[in-house]
Structure 1
Amino acid sequence: MSDQPLLRVSGVSKFYGTRTGCRDVSFDLYPGEVLAVVGESGSGKTTLLNCISTRLMPTAGTVSYRMRDGRFRDLYRMGEAERRFLMRTDWGFVHQNPADGLRMSVSAGANVGERLMAVGERHYGNIRATATDWLGRVEIGADRIDDQPRAFSGGMRQRLQIARNLVTGPRLVFMDEPTGGLDVSVQARLLDLLCGLVNDLGLAVVVVTHDLAVARLLSHRMMVMKDGQVIESGLTDRVLDDPRAPYTQLLVSSILQV
């Protein structure tokens, strides 16, 4: 793991009038590190994710990203075109609903190929070969390359969305409830696949989830949110095995009782 963080989040807050989305959140994320942000619905975790991935402008705070030249840039001082380029190339964003992260009316191969074209690939044969390879990596048969995502199951759509995001070799991936809405058996396979890819590619990941099992399997560190604030953070195993905040204790015990 590099001694320089990839992402620096400092004092990020988002308010909607009198309502708090998130308040004064700070953390560093290092290359190859997976951070899980957990909490119940309405805790502020998705608002935070949208702020740090520049999908939402925070009310206060800064988010700095270490570019490939080693310099830190304040994401909110970048131009819109520069931010969009980052999101198409250096970053990935895996949505809970795969339809939000896919183009449903074009083929599986085209969904993956579009990202390659965004980084300058123009050779059709190379694009198709790389797309085929990535479909295989996410357990989608090569014979499905010309099928549209609408013909896929929920689990296959999610795996296709992951391939689309990872094909450009991003350094940072945001995931919003990546296993939400899937059957338990499909969730387990998807998690296994994600763990393998994250480890193999050395990705830095911020994953938002209400599922502590997902956090334990995927993440190195955890932040627990409640009412828009971080109430506990630390190494994932420590937080889950020895929770200190009463709310975290309640979260963990409620899972154990299910």
Structure 2
Amino acid sequence: MTDREAPLLEARGVSHYYGARLGCRDVSFSLWPGEVLAIVGESGSGKTTLLNCLAASLPPTAGTVAYRMRDGVSRDLASLSKAERRFLMRTDWGFVHQNPADGLRMTVSAGANVGERLMAIGERHYGDIRQSAIGWLERVEVPADRVDDDPRGFSGGMRQRLQIARNLVTAPRLVFMDEPTGGLDVSVQARLLDLIRALVADLGMAAIVVTHDLAVARLLSHRMMVMKGGVVVEEGLTDRVLDDPQAPYTQLLVSSILQV
């Protein structure tokens, strides 16, 4: 089996409970290299709980999540040490938060935010790190002359673009995105979505995108899962699910968008 034929991430029977309250239950799927999966649903549907289980920031109550490392060996994330998980998150993975402040160091410069990720993979030459940081700022439409400014002076959209640069500079194989355009003005959302779509395609990375917005799912994803009450009620190719929804809840979601 070649590298492109083997799943990058596999979830099997993933469940999480907060005490007696259900977060998500019995979720299974495989994610392939270069594939973008959208997880959609209303607030409280379990999509963010599932994302956190997949990203190893929340331990599943039951089930397993396995990730295929760069050496080709699949590892159960629960078997990794804290140091191994931290290294994975700083190099092979990215995580784009809805609130950019959760994914940035707000008191250091834009350049330092990007450069820290490069240092995590062994870069040590200051000049090279700075040039790479400037290159990535320009790539995400942050002016190069803002490289020494800290993110507290940036707009919300610019902070989000900086967070994307920070996550993608190490060429991760998998990026988790939690409502990446939430809270932004519509015009800013549109530009950001175009940027994300282009970068994901250019870098050939896989992504898991949590969103309540079906338009975001259609634009970014190849495949989607619809969640309600902590369980997956429908899944399939994005265009098929949105153009011919089978589950009553998915039909309701799609029809509500069409009526807006």
Shared fold per TM-score greater than 0.5: yes
- Partner letter of residue 90 of structure 2? R
Q: Distance in 2 between matches of 1:94 and 1:169?
A: 14
Please say if 1:197 is aligned against 2:192. Answer: no
Calculate percent identity across the aligned residue pairs: 79
Among 124, 127, 146, the residue aligned to 1:125: 127
Distance in 2 of aligned mates of 1:2 and 1:70: 11
Aligned residue in 2 for 1:187: 189
- The equivalent residue for 2:99 is 97
Aligned equivalents of 1:3, 1:229: Cα separation in 2: 28
Quote the residue 1:222 is aligned against: 224
1:247 aligns with 2:258: no
| 2:12 is equivalent to residue 10 of structure 1 | yes
Task: Show the counterpart of 2:110.
Answer: 108
Correspondence for 2:165: 163
Deviations 1:84-106 (A, max 9, x none): 10000000000000000000000
| 1:47-102 Cα distance to aligned partner (Å, 9 max, x none) | 00000101101100000000001010001011110111000000000000000000
Distance between the aligned counterparts of 1:5 and 1:173, measured in 2? 15
User: Structure 1: how far apart are the matches of 2:100 and 2:36?
Assistant: 21
The match for 1:41 among 34, 40, 43 is 43
1:180-212 Cα distance to aligned partner (Å, 9 max, x none): 000000000000000000000001000000000
Q: What corresponds to 1:138 in structure 2?
A: 140
Deviation at 1:17, TM superposition (A): 1.7
Gaps (5+ residues) in structure 1?
A: none
**1:20 and 2:19 equivalent?**
no
Structure 1 residue 16, shift from structure 2 partner: 1.2
Aligned length: 258
- Residue 83 of structure 1 aligns with which residue? 85
For residues 205 and 191 of structure 2, what CA distance do their matches in structure 1 show?
19
Output the amino acid matched with 1:95: H
CA RMSD of aligned residues (A): 0.7
Instruction: Return the TM-score normalized by structure 1.
Output: 0.99
Q: What's 1:175 paired with?
A: 177
Misfit runs of 4+, over 2 Å: none
Shift of 1:131: 0.1
Partners of 1:26 and 1:201 in 2: how far apart?
Answer: 26
- What stretches of structure 2 of length at least 5 have no aligned partner? none
**Structure 2 match to 1:212:** 214
| Alpha-carbon distance in structure 2 between the residues aligned to 1:199 and 1:96 | 21
CA distance in 2, matches of 1:154, 1:17: 35
Say whether residues 1:68 and 2:70 are aligned partners: yes
Separation (CA, whole Å) in 2 of partners of 1:193 and 1:15: 36
Deviation of 1:3 after TM superposition, in Å, equals 1.1
The Cα shift of 1:244 comes to 0.1
Separation of aligned partners in 1, 2:9 and 2:118: 24
Q: Secondary structure at the match of 1:208?
A: strand
Does 2:66 match 1:55? no
Letter in 1 for 2:241: V
